[in-house]
Amino acid sequence: MAKVYESITPELQRFLTQQPIFFVASAPLSGEGHVNLSPKGQDCLRVFSPQQVGYLDLTGSGNETAAHLAENGRITLMFCAFQGAPRILRLYGTGRVVVPASADWAALRPHFPAMPGARQIIVADIHRVQTSCGMAVPLLDYVAPRENLHIWAAAKGEDGLAAYRAEKNHTSIDGLPAPPI
Protein backbone atom coordinates (compact mmCIF):
# COMPACT_ATOMS: atom_id res chain seq x y z
CA MET A 1 0.00 0.00 0.00
CA ALA A 2 2.46 2.71 1.13
CA LYS A 3 5.54 3.36 -0.98
CA VAL A 4 8.50 5.60 -0.18
CA TYR A 5 10.43 7.48 -2.87
CA GLU A 6 13.78 9.24 -2.72
CA SER A 7 12.37 12.28 -4.51
CA ILE A 8 9.38 13.64 -6.39
CA THR A 9 9.25 11.63 -9.60
CA PRO A 10 7.85 13.11 -12.82
CA GLU A 11 4.70 10.99 -12.38
CA LEU A 12 4.22 12.17 -8.79
CA GLN A 13 4.80 15.76 -9.90
CA ARG A 14 2.01 15.40 -12.49
CA PHE A 15 -0.27 14.01 -9.79
CA LEU A 16 0.37 16.73 -7.22
CA THR A 17 0.11 19.60 -9.69
CA GLN A 18 -3.29 18.29 -10.86
CA GLN A 19 -4.83 18.47 -7.38
CA PRO A 20 -6.95 21.59 -6.78
CA ILE A 21 -6.28 21.45 -3.03
CA PHE A 22 -3.45 20.33 -0.78
CA PHE A 23 -2.89 20.44 2.96
CA VAL A 24 0.05 21.81 4.95
CA ALA A 25 0.84 20.56 8.45
CA SER A 26 3.26 22.01 10.98
CA ALA A 27 3.62 22.03 14.75
CA PRO A 28 5.62 23.71 17.49
CA LEU A 29 8.27 21.69 19.31
CA SER A 30 6.35 21.91 22.55
CA GLY A 31 3.93 19.06 23.10
CA GLU A 32 1.66 21.68 24.63
CA GLY A 33 1.32 23.63 21.38
CA HIS A 34 -1.22 23.21 18.64
CA VAL A 35 -0.66 21.17 15.49
CA ASN A 36 -1.69 23.27 12.50
CA LEU A 37 -3.28 21.85 9.36
CA SER A 38 -4.20 24.27 6.58
CA PRO A 39 -5.89 23.69 3.23
CA LYS A 40 -4.33 25.49 0.27
CA GLY A 41 -5.96 26.07 -3.08
CA GLN A 42 -5.57 28.37 -6.07
CA ASP A 43 -2.59 28.13 -8.41
CA CYS A 44 -0.05 28.58 -5.62
CA LEU A 45 2.18 25.45 -5.66
CA ARG A 46 5.36 24.95 -7.65
CA VAL A 47 7.84 22.08 -7.84
CA PHE A 48 11.29 23.65 -8.02
CA SER A 49 13.19 20.35 -8.17
CA PRO A 50 12.66 16.68 -7.27
CA GLN A 51 13.62 17.63 -3.68
CA GLN A 52 12.05 21.08 -3.34
CA VAL A 53 8.59 22.63 -3.57
CA GLY A 54 7.21 26.01 -2.72
CA TYR A 55 3.88 27.70 -2.44
CA LEU A 56 2.76 31.29 -2.50
CA ASP A 57 1.15 31.92 0.88
CA LEU A 58 -1.73 34.37 0.93
CA THR A 59 -2.80 36.55 3.83
CA GLY A 60 -5.13 34.65 6.11
CA SER A 61 -6.57 34.61 9.58
CA GLY A 62 -3.35 33.29 11.10
CA ASN A 63 0.27 32.60 10.28
CA GLU A 64 0.88 29.31 12.08
CA THR A 65 3.03 27.64 9.42
CA ALA A 66 5.46 30.56 9.28
CA ALA A 67 5.77 30.67 13.08
CA HIS A 68 6.34 26.91 13.30
CA LEU A 69 8.92 26.97 10.51
CA ALA A 70 10.78 29.81 12.19
CA GLU A 71 10.90 27.74 15.38
CA ASN A 72 11.75 24.27 14.05
CA GLY A 73 11.43 24.00 10.25
CA ARG A 74 9.22 20.88 10.19
CA ILE A 75 6.57 20.71 7.47
CA THR A 76 4.42 18.12 5.72
CA LEU A 77 2.37 18.65 2.58
CA MET A 78 -0.41 16.20 1.71
CA PHE A 79 -2.23 15.74 -1.58
CA CYS A 80 -5.34 13.54 -1.99
CA ALA A 81 -6.98 12.28 -5.15
CA PHE A 82 -10.66 13.22 -4.93
CA GLN A 83 -11.18 12.15 -8.54
CA GLY A 84 -9.85 9.17 -10.49
CA ALA A 85 -7.72 6.44 -8.94
CA PRO A 86 -7.27 6.66 -5.15
CA ARG A 87 -3.97 8.04 -3.92
CA ILE A 88 -2.48 10.08 -1.11
CA LEU A 89 0.93 11.72 -1.48
CA ARG A 90 2.84 13.18 1.46
CA LEU A 91 5.95 15.32 1.21
CA TYR A 92 7.95 15.49 4.44
CA GLY A 93 10.59 18.13 4.80
CA THR A 94 12.05 21.20 6.35
CA GLY A 95 10.74 24.56 5.34
CA ARG A 96 11.58 28.20 5.42
CA VAL A 97 9.68 31.41 4.91
CA VAL A 98 10.66 33.82 2.15
CA VAL A 99 9.20 37.28 2.76
CA PRO A 100 9.16 40.17 0.26
CA ALA A 101 12.10 41.87 2.01
CA SER A 102 14.36 38.79 1.70
CA ALA A 103 16.98 38.30 -0.99
CA ASP A 104 15.25 35.13 -2.35
CA TRP A 105 11.92 36.88 -2.99
CA ALA A 106 12.97 38.39 -6.35
CA ALA A 107 14.11 35.01 -7.65
CA LEU A 108 11.10 33.01 -6.41
CA ARG A 109 8.13 35.39 -6.84
CA PRO A 110 8.09 35.24 -10.70
CA HIS A 111 7.26 31.50 -10.50
CA PHE A 112 3.77 32.36 -9.23
CA PRO A 113 0.85 34.29 -10.69
CA ALA A 114 -0.09 37.69 -9.33
CA MET A 115 -2.55 37.25 -6.47
CA PRO A 116 -3.91 39.89 -4.12
CA GLY A 117 -2.76 39.30 -0.55
CA ALA A 118 0.45 37.39 -1.35
CA ARG A 119 2.45 37.70 1.87
CA GLN A 120 5.26 35.13 1.69
CA ILE A 121 6.53 32.03 -0.05
CA ILE A 122 6.94 28.81 1.87
CA VAL A 123 9.82 26.71 0.49
CA ALA A 124 10.15 23.09 1.58
CA ASP A 125 13.21 20.91 1.08
CA ILE A 126 11.83 17.38 0.87
CA HIS A 127 13.56 14.45 2.55
CA ARG A 128 10.77 11.84 2.31
CA VAL A 129 8.16 11.28 -0.40
CA GLN A 130 5.48 8.75 0.43
CA THR A 131 2.32 7.55 -1.26
CA SER A 132 -0.48 5.55 0.29
CA CYS A 133 -3.67 4.07 -1.05
CA GLY A 134 -6.27 6.73 -0.34
CA MET A 135 -9.08 4.20 -0.74
CA ALA A 136 -11.11 5.83 2.06
CA VAL A 137 -10.91 9.31 0.49
CA PRO A 138 -14.30 10.13 -1.09
CA LEU A 139 -14.83 10.91 -4.75
CA LEU A 140 -15.76 14.58 -5.10
CA ASP A 141 -16.61 16.80 -8.03
CA TYR A 142 -14.48 19.92 -8.36
CA VAL A 143 -16.55 22.95 -9.31
CA ALA A 144 -14.27 26.00 -9.25
CA PRO A 145 -11.81 27.88 -7.08
CA ARG A 146 -13.29 30.29 -4.55
CA GLU A 147 -12.51 33.91 -5.28
CA ASN A 148 -13.49 35.20 -1.81
CA LEU A 149 -9.93 35.60 -0.52
CA HIS A 150 -8.82 37.49 -3.62
CA ILE A 151 -11.83 39.82 -3.40
CA TRP A 152 -11.23 40.42 0.32
CA ALA A 153 -7.50 41.13 -0.20
CA ALA A 154 -8.10 43.44 -3.14
CA ALA A 155 -10.69 45.40 -1.13
CA LYS A 156 -8.25 45.77 1.80
CA GLY A 157 -5.51 47.17 -0.43
CA GLU A 158 -1.82 47.08 0.46
CA ASP A 159 -2.14 49.41 3.46
CA GLY A 160 -5.13 47.51 4.82
CA LEU A 161 -3.34 44.18 4.36
CA ALA A 162 -0.25 45.49 6.14
CA ALA A 163 -2.39 46.61 9.09
CA TYR A 164 -4.24 43.29 9.15
CA ARG A 165 -0.99 41.31 9.11
CA ALA A 166 0.48 43.45 11.89
CA GLU A 167 -2.58 42.71 14.02
CA LYS A 168 -3.31 39.08 13.18
CA ASN A 169 -0.22 37.45 11.60
CA HIS A 170 2.72 38.36 13.86
CA THR A 171 2.42 35.41 16.29
CA SER A 172 0.98 31.92 16.30
CA ILE A 173 -1.95 30.94 18.49
CA ASP A 174 0.66 29.55 20.91
CA GLY A 175 2.56 32.85 21.00
CA LEU A 176 5.44 31.87 18.70
CA PRO A 177 6.74 34.80 16.62
CA ALA A 178 6.24 34.65 12.85
CA PRO A 179 8.82 36.23 10.54
CA PRO A 180 7.95 39.88 9.89
CA ILE A 181 6.15 40.37 6.61
181 residues of the chain, pLDDT tens digit each: 799 999 999 999 999 999 999 999 999 998 889 999 999 999 999 999 999 999 999 999 999 999 999 999 999 999 999 999 999 999 999 999 999 999 999 999 999 999 999 999 999 999 999 999 999 999 999 999 999 999 999 999 999 999 999 999 999 999 999 999 8
Which pTM does this prediction carry? Answer: 0.96
Name the maximum alpha-carbon separation found in the chain. Answer: 50
Task: Single out the residue of 89, 97, 93, 96 nearest to residue 126, CA to CA.
Answer: 93
Give the C-alpha separation, 98 to 120, whole Å.
6
Question: Domains, the chain, ranges and CATH?
Answer: 3-138+145-168 (2.30.110.10)
Give the C-alpha separation, 27 to 95, whole Å.
12
Q: How many helices (H) and strands (E) does the chain have?
A: 4, 8
Phi, psi of 22 (to 5 degrees): -140, 170
Give the C-alpha separation, 55 to 143, whole Å.
22
